Amino acid sequence: MGVAYREKSAPVAVFESIAEYNIAYPHAQMPYLGDAHPRLRTFTCAASGLWDDLTVSGYKYTLTFLPSGEPGPGRDGTVVATRWGNPPVLLLARQVPLQWAWEVVTKSWPTTLDSAARLLNAGSRGRQGPG
């Protein structure tokens, strides 16, 4: 794993490549760009992206809910941020119910990575954040 940031209140783990993330989270793999990417459930904040205020890279990111598919009841996974499917992979939440995560993000409409990570980790009560 790359670096874990805690500069703001929301923790984030950074993986420098998709392969590095996939090794750490084989149950919630991120497909390589072009493989199955169109089938992924993503949040793009009206196609404008979410500002990276966690690592302060100056880039906008999208959120991806993994593993792919419908986030039905009882289905846990991870929420990651990528630069439109490209590395690095920022792990914002792990072992979260995907349906709950999707609903909390789409109802709150975060515009920054920190606000998304806070939402995902604040309501997780007992679930594990990144790291």
pLDDT one-digit tens code per residue, 106-126? 999 999 999 999 999 986 544
> Can you list the positions of beta strands (E) in the chain?
4-5, 12-15, 41-43, 50-51, 60-66, 76-83, 86-97
Closest CA to 78 of 88, 86, 8, 89: 89
Mean pLDDT of 10-19: 89
4 contacts 12 by C-beta, under 8 angstroms: yes
Question: If you ran DSSP here, which 8-state letter would residue 107 be given?
Answer: H
pTM over 0.75: yes
| pLDDT tens track for 23-39 | 999 999 998 876 555 57
- Helices 98-108 + 113-122 axis angle, to 10: 130
pLDDT classification of 48: cutoffs 50, 70, 90: confident
Q: Are strands 50-51 and 60-66 parallel, antiparallel or unpaired?
A: antiparallel
pLDDT of residue 40: 82
pLDDT score, position 78: 95
Phi and psi (nearest 5°) for 108? -90, -25
pLDDT for 35 equals 59
